[in-house]
């Protein structure tokens, strides 16, 4: 056991942690049924601190999520989320540990329990509970494992490591610098089994899974997932007509939308679950109406609505599987205002105000906020390290003690696309500045509508009168387009973590190892605000899963369009290489913005109630099969931070022959025969061309082209001969290509095939994904027999 001067320990660890990663967890598969998780703690330091006239020791460590048992030592802990087999339980055993005991001069800082944002932290004393004074280590367990939970189609668990354990009687802090755990599947009756996975894969969910689970592996070719989730709209007869333009727009944009009409006052929990079981493609649920119209379960001390829990449609856990949003309205006029805002925001962007952000925050929370941050420090970090490196260039700050309601009003009317609030709140106001429902009603910001992430008490308490969130959304000619606000008094720390994750995901991911703050690293972004809220809440809850985290998850309510695509910069101009459409033939085009290809643009076509759509590839290309008859077809193209193309094109009858690509498969029989294009490999392409025209296509030739630096075309010309009407001709090894040895992994390659016949030509596009070897770190051993 070591007894070390606090000052010396602080200096030693501070010197080596300047920008280092203080801990890490690694996951390794040992077999199909066994795996290993290793936790290593590299740095921490102990600090002497005087609180309320008493000297204590505080642990300063990168993982600032701590135990919250009032009167017991405040101890940091960390987590790792692991995806599981659908029907197998997981048991764990500790393989080995390394630890050092430290005899402390002063007791550890005791937790003050959960502090809520309707409390003044300065009035809550630090006290050591008598029941904490036992001659044993707290927490009792070094590791805890959550019961399995399900997030739509993935079953998982969370492993919590408690590397700091404390004997309060002897004042000994035990610090574990290494914990190795083996995980094994077993044959016990599965807890919360995933019985019926949907088999559907969506970009929105794949990115969520990858951000949450350390070992998640997509069962499909991830870069080529191209499905939108469906939207379920639930309304009463009062608002059925008012919500229809929203349904029409979402269908035109490319969503499948389903509508259910219920009796006023219905709790729709069971209905949503029934509809999801019948159609697991549902990712978004849009409620239409106030508390008297559409109900959910209530919970907490306040007996408040828990809209997010309506998204728990798979399993028996508290993790939402789908996103829930609400147009809260007492009349069809309220619905129309919110619908018009949402449609106009997505369909008709204009102006140069989108790259501006507003932060409103209190000057409270020193030492007790997430990562020890004061509220305004928290919002400053969000802007400086997340929003500003992304697309934002202007930051309006309204902070205590000098911030005023007038400053908030002026910033909003100047135009800003996002507001981050962190402070006290009430049912009708923000505590910082006192900005309230009356101030919202006086706004004249027109179509310069922000979305809002609000950390505050009761801002979303829509069940007991007109709340702050409703004022923002119902405001005509101004207000906000979307917000997330709580129906209860929020605890201090969990929503700060949630707000961090909302902004992390909005801005494409965040690395806590190299940037300020602590949390779960993310590498991908989302642009649909309902998905951002869902993903952020899940990350927040897995990081701690205390009762205060669960309460935050259950009651942080989305007001507005759950499937709204955010805007964060001046819209780029979309252009298409082709807008011609021939009846019976795929619509093919390349989507560009300011001259560059656009990935994940949603291209939708509709005619007489028939809707088809597809996402563009990395190279901006899209091919959409359809069965449109000659006549008008609506073309809608949307993409993140781009203008919207909304125009009518003509489906023209195909005169003469019309030869387009029908199918391409890879023949690598003489390579590694795995059916895919790998680095350094030469493969043949089996190509099928179809004549969808009205005449025989004679003497068809096809030419393959590609402008990719990693691809060489060895044979790019092939004769297909005559192709009859509605016939398909397949040529094996029609073309031969080679991938360069240095080809990156998961590299998408765009090809063009031009078919020619007696002076006519037709161009088709297709993409292939090239793969490379990926080197994964397993372990290393240092051999130093001489000890130098």
Element (H, E) at 575: strand 574-576
pLDDT in tens, 45-63: 999 999 999 999 999 987 6
So what's the pLDDT on residue 778?
Answer: 45
Domain containing 476 — which CATH number?
Answer: 3.40.50.1460
User: Tens of pLDDT along 285-310?
Assistant: 999 999 999 999 999 888 999 999 99
pLDDT(64) > 60: yes
Please give the C-alpha separations between residue 724 and each of 136, 164, 191, 720, in angstroms, as whole numbers. 85, 75, 58, 11
Kind and range of the H or E run holding 664: strand 659-667
| Final residue in a domain of this structure, among 155, 176, 197 | 197
- 355-414 pLDDT, tens digit per residue, is 999 999 999 999 899 999 999 999 999 999 999 999 999 999 999 999 999 999 999 999
Q: How confident is the model at residue 271 (pLDDT cuts 50, 70, 90)?
A: very high
On whether both 544 and 417 belong to a single domain, the answer is yes
Residue 783 has pLDDT above 70, yes or no: no
Same domain, yes or no: 639 and 670: no
The answer on 417 and 272 residing in a single domain is: yes
Residue 776 has pLDDT above 50, yes or no: no
Contact of 230 with 253, CB cutoff 8 Å: no
| CATH classification at residue 683 | 2.60.40.10
- One domain for residues 331 and 447: yes
Q: Are 696 and 727 a contacting pair, CB within 8 Å?
A: no
Residue 784 falls inside a structural domain: no
Q: What count of other Cβ atoms lies within 10 Å of the Cβ of residue 12?
A: 13
Judgement on whether residues 92 and 156 belong to the same structural domain of the protein:
yes
Domain range spanning residue 592?
574-652
Q: Are residues 57 and 20 in the same domain?
A: yes
The answer to whether position 499 is within a domain reads: yes
Is there a single domain that holds both residue 70 and residue 189?
A: yes
**One domain for residues 588 and 644:** yes
Query: pLDDT per residue over 608-645, tens digit each?
Result: 888 999 999 999 999 999 988 778 999 999 999 999 99
496 plus 614 within the same structural domain:
no
Identify the pLDDT of residue 44.
93
Domain boundary among 652, 683, 705: 652
DSSP three-state, residue 635? strand
179 shares its domain with 128: yes
465 and 377 part of one domain: yes
For residue 648, the cross-strand partners are 634
CA-to-CA distance for 677 and 20, rounded, in angstroms? 39
Residue 783 lies in a domain: no
Which of 28-37, 63-72, 213-222, 312-321 comes out lowest in average pLDDT? Answer: 213-222
Total domains in the chain come to 4
Assess whether 179 and 315 both reside in one domain. Answer: no
Of residues 471 and 675, which shows the higher confidence score? Answer: 471
65-73 average pLDDT score: 95
What CATH number should be reported for the domain holding residue 49? Answer: 2.60.40.3800
């Amino acid at each position: 056991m070591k007894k070390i001067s606090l000052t010396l320990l602080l200096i030693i660890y501070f010197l080596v942690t300047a920008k280092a990663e203080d801990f890490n967890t690694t996951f390794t598969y040992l077999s199909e049924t066994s795996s290993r998780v290793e936790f290593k703690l590299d740095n921490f330091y102990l600090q002497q601190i005087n609180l309320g006239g008493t000297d204590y020791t505080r642990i300063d460590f990168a993982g600032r999520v701590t135990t919250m048992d009032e009167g017991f030592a405040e101890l940091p802990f960390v987590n790792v989320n692991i995806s599981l087999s659908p029907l197998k339980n997981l048991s764990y055993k500790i393989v080995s540990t390394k630890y050092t005991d430290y005899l402390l001069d002063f007791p550890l800082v005791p937790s003050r329990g959960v502090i809520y944002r309707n409390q003044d932290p300065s009035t809550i004393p630090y006290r050591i509970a008598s029941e904490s004074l036992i001659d044993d280590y707290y927490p009792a367990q070094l590791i805890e494992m959550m019961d399995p939970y399900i997030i739509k189609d993935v079953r998982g668990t969370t492993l919590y490591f408690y590397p700091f354990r404390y004997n309060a009687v002897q004042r000994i802090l035990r610090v574990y610098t290494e914990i190795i755990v083996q995980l094994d599947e077993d044959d016990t009756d599965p807890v919360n089994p995933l019985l019926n996975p949907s088999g559907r894969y969506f970009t929105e969910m794949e990115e969520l899974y990858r951000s949450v689970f350390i070992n998640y592996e997509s069962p499909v070719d991830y870069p080529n997932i191209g499905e939108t989730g469906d939207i379920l709209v639930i309304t009463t007869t009062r608002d059925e007509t008012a919500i229809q333009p929203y349904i029409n727009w979402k269908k035109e944009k490319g969503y499948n939308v389903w509508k259910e009409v219920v009796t006023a006052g219905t709790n729709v929990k069971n209905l949503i679950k029934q509809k999801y079981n019948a159609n697991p493609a549902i990712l978004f649920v849009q409620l239409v109406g106030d508390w008297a119209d559409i109900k959910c379960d209530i919970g907490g001390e306040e007996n408040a609505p828990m809209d997010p829990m309506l998204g728990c449609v798979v399993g028996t856990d508290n993790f939402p599987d789908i996103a829930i949003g609400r147009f809260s309205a007492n009349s069809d006029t309220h619905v129309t205002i919110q619908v018009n805002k949402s449609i106009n925001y997505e369909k008709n962007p204009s102006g140069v105000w989108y790259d501006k952000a507003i932060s409103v925050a209190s000057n409270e929370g020193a030492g007790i906020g997430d990562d020890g941050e004061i509220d305004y420090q928290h919002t400053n970090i969000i802007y400086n390290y997340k929003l500003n490196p992304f697309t934002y260039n202007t930051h309006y700050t309204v902070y205590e003690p000098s911030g005023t309601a007038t400053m908030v009003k002026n910033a909003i009317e100047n135009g800003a696309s996002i507001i981050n609030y962190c402070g006290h709140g009430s049912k009708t106001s923000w505590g910082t500045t006192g900005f309230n429902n009356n101030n919202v009603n006086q706004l004249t910001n027109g179509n310069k509508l922000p979305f809002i992430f609000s950390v505050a008490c009761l801002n979303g308490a829509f069940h007991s009168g007109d709340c702050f969130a409703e004022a923002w959304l119902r405001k005509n000619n101004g207000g906000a387009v979307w917000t997330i606000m709580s129906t209860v008094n929020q605890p201090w720390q969990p929503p700060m973590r949630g707000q961090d994750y909302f902004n992390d995901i909005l801005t494409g991911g965040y690395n806590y190892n190299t940037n300020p703050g602590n949390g779960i690293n993310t590498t991908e972004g989302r642009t649909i605000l309902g998905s951002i809220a869902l993903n952020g809440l899940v990350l927040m809850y897995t990081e701690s899963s205390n009762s205060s985290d669960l309460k935050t998850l259950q009651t942080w309510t989305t007001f507005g369009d759950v499937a709204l695509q955010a805007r964060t910069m001046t819209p780029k101009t979309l252009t298409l290489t082709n807008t011609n459409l021939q009846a019976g033939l795929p619509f093919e085009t390349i989507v560009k913005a300011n001259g560059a290809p656009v990935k994940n643009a949603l291209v939708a076509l509709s005619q007489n109630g028939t809707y088809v759509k597809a996402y563009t590839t990395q190279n901006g290309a899209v091919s959409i099969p359809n069965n449109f008859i000659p006549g008008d077809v609506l073309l809608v193209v949307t993409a993140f931070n781009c203008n919207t193309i909304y125009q009518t094109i003509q489906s023209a009858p195909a005169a003469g022959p019309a030869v387009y690509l029908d199918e391409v498969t890879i023949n690598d029989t003489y390579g590694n025969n795995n059916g895919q294009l790998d680095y350094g490999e030469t493969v043949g392409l089996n190509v099928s061309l179809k004549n969808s025209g009205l005449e025989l296509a004679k003497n068809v030739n096809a030419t393959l082209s590609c402008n990719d630096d990693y691809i060489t075309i060895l044979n790019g010309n092939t004769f297909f001969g005559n192709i009859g009407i509605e016939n398909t001709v397949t040529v094996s090894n029609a073309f031969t290509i080679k991938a360069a040895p240095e080809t990156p992994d998961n590299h998408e390659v765009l090809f063009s095939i031009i078919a020619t016949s007696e002076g006519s030509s037709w161009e088709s596009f297709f993409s292939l994904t090239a793969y490379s070897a990926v080197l994964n770190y397993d372990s290393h051993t240092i051999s130093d027999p001489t000890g130098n």
